[in-house]
Homo-oligomer: A and B are copies of this chain.
C-alpha cells in the first residue's frame, strides 16, 4: 500500500531516496520522539509556525461514534471506514493557540465518513518526523550528507469530541512513548485532567518518506584522483538515540524499575545501533 503521488508529496530532489509506502511512512512517524507540526495561524498569516509535539500514527479500533444522524447501514460503513483509517494523534492543552485554532476549524464533528483529501473541515497541517542515522563523510564537501529517515505528511487536524475515542488516544499516546506505561500509572484521568487535555486527529491526505541509508557516494572525477583518495578519510559516523540508565525521582518509593522500562531501553538501544551501523556500509542507490 502506498500514498498516491501528487504534486504536493512528490519528492523532486533526489527522487531515488523517495518512498511512498504507507508502512514506511508510519514506521518513521512512530520511531520519532518528537513530531514537528506546522500550521498557518489565522492571526499572523502568512507566517507559518512550527511546534514540536508528541504524537503517533494508528487507527482507532472503536470506529465512528456518531449515533445521531445516520441510519444503521451508514453508521456501520462509517465505523468500518474509520476503523481502517490510520490517523496521526496529537494531544495538547485546551488553551494553546494551535488547539484553539484547530477547534475553531474542526466544525461540529470529525466527519469520519468524508474523504480526507476532499473535505474542507479541519486545520491544514504539515507533519514532519526525522531520524538522523549518521554523518556521511565523503571526499568533497558537496557530497557530504546525513544518513536519515524522514516522513512528511499533509492533512487536516480535527478535534476529537467522543469521550471513548479521546480516552483511547490518551492511553495510546502514553503507551506510544513507553509501551505498557498507562497501566502502571494512576488512571483514569480525573475531570480536571480530562478537561484540560484536547486530542486532535490528523486525517492524512498525502504523505511521503525520504531515506538515505548508505555509505558515502562521490563523483567519478574525485574517485579517479589518487591524491584525493590518499588524503581524505571517507566513511560514516553512525548516530542513534541512546536511552540511558533510569534515574529515580526524589519522591520515588518503588524500589525496582519496572521490567517493561528496562526492556524498552534495551530494545531501542540495540535496534538503533544495529540500524545505524548496518546502513553505513550499504551501497548507495544509482
Contact residues of A with B, CB < 8 Å? Answer: 7-8, 12-13, 33-34, 36, 38-40, 43-52, 54, 93, 95-97, 124-128, 130, 132, 134-135, 137-142, 144, 146, 148, 150, 152, 154, 170-171, 174, 177-178, 181-182, 184-187, 189, 193, 196-197, 215-216, 218, 222-223, 225, 228-254, 256-258, 261, 265, 273, 276-277, 280-281, 283
Q: Which residues of chain B are near A223, meaning CB under 8 Å?
A: 251
- Bound-state CA distance A240–B240 (Å) is 8
What is the count of identical protomers in the complex? 2
- Bound-state CA distance A218–B50 (Å) is 28
Instruction: Jot down 14 A-B pairs with beta carbons below 8 A, ordered by A.
Output: A12-B96, A33-B146, A38-B126, A139-B186, A140-B186, A141-B170, A142-B197, A231-B254, A233-B254, A233-B257, A237-B265, A238-B244, A239-B244, A247-B281
**B13–A140 touching, CB < 8 Å:** no
**The one of B141, B152, B248 that contacts A187, using a Cβ cutoff of 8 Å:** B141
- Bound-state CA distance A21–B196 (Å) is 30
Residue in B closest to A131 when the chains form the complex, CB atoms: B34
Q: Which residues of chain B are near A276, meaning CB under 8 Å?
A: 244
Q: Which residues of chain B are near A233, meaning CB under 8 Å?
A: 184, 248, 252, 254, 256-258, 261
Most buried by B among A170, A171, A230, A253: A253
Q: Which residues of chain B are near A222, meaning CB under 8 Å?
A: 186
A76: shortest Cβ distance to chain B, in Å? 32
Q: Which residues of chain B are near A193, meaning CB under 8 Å?
A: 140, 142
- Bound-state CA distance A251–B218 (Å) is 10
Residue in B closest to A141 when the chains form the complex, CB atoms: B174
- Bound-state CA distance A184–B215 (Å) is 18
A36-B50, A186-B225 given; 10 more Cβ-contact pairs under 8 Å: A34-B148, A48-B126, A50-B127, A134-B244, A140-B187, A141-B189, A144-B181, A233-B258, A236-B247, A238-B245
**A141–B253 touching, CB < 8 Å:** no
**A247–B238 touching, CB < 8 Å:** yes
**B50–A40 touching, CB < 8 Å:** no
Residue in B closest to A175 when the chains form the complex, CB atoms: B141
**The one of B141, B171, B230 that contacts A185, using a Cβ cutoff of 8 Å:** B141
**B231–A52 touching, CB < 8 Å:** no
A112: shortest Cβ distance to chain B, in Å? 22
A184: shortest Cβ distance to chain B, in Å? 6
**The one of B49, B146, B251 that contacts A234, using a Cβ cutoff of 8 Å:** B251
